[in-house]
């Protein structure tokens, strides 16, 4: 399951943005598995109930419905939006739109998922900074490596990189 996280104490839990499980009769694993089954596969509440019964967990379809109403949105968001990789490729291309030359800024991760696109008339440091800031805000992730086409405006827009000493010969 893609939504499990292991905490340093070794407990399994769901992401930090999820609602509280406090006060529920069933453990977090059972609740999250029921909600995951419902949103991941085209199952009805009664079919989820039957699948859980086969696993030895007695839970009513009405309880599954309540859980899906309470916890479902965070699971659905996590399933629909793939997590970006840690290596991003930033690129800019000139295109003509209605006879005017525009700059198309694009960010792609190592898996080929397009992270963000911006079309504007300017190609300068402020535009690159605005694009990168919006990219970081929308994805909610920080890349390990950013590959660019060595445009000068990227250097001033990207955060400073730590200096790596050269290896001795």
Per-residue pLDDT of 21-40, as tens digits, reads: 888 889 989 998 999 899 88
User: What 3-state DSSP class applies to 106?
Assistant: strand
Enumerate the β-bridge partners of residue 109: 88
Residue 156, pLDDT > 70, answer no
| Helix ranges, the chain (H) | 28-40, 45-54, 61-80, 125-139, 152-157
- Dist CA 99 CA 85 (whole Å): 36
- Dist CA 168 CA 136 (whole Å): 36
Q: What is the pLDDT of residue 10?
A: 41
Residue 75, pLDDT > 90, answer no
Say which residue the tokens 């994805």 belong to. 139
Percent above pLDDT 70 for the chain: 75
Domain residue spans of the chain: 4-80, 87-157
Residue 104 banded pLDDT, cuts 50, 70, 90:
confident
- Dist CA 92 CA 151 (whole Å): 9
Residue 74, pLDDT > 60, answer yes
- Dist CA 42 CA 61 (whole Å): 15
Hey, which of 5-9, 94-98, 154-158 has the most confident mean pLDDT? 94-98
- In this structure, what are the phi and psi dihedrals at residue 69, rounded to the nearest 5 degrees? -70, -35
Residue 16, pLDDT > 60, answer no
| Helix ranges, 55-120 (H) | 61-80
Q: What is the pLDDT of residue 93?
A: 84
């Amino acid at each position: 399951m893609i939504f499990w996280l292991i905490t340093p104490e070794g407990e399994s839990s769901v992401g930090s943005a999820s609602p509280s499980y406090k006060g529920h009769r069933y453990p977090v694993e059972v609740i999250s598995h029921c909600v995951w089954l419902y949103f991941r596969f085209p199952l009805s509440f009664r079919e989820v109930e039957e699948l859980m019964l086969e696993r030895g967990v007695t839970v009513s379809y009405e309880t599954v419905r309540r859980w899906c109403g309470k916890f479902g949105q965070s699971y659905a968001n996590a399933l629909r939006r793939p997590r970006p990789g840690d290596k991003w490729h930033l690129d800019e291309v000139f295109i003509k739109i209605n006879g005017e030359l525009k700059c198309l800024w694009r960010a792609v991760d190592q898996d080929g998922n397009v992270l963000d696109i911006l079309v504007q008339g300017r190609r300068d440091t402020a535009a690159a900074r605005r694009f990168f800031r919006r990219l970081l805000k929308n994805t909610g992730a920080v890349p390990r490596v950013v590959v660019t086409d060595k445009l000068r405006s990227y250097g001033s827009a990207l955060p400073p990189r730590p200096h790596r000493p050269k290896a001795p010969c």
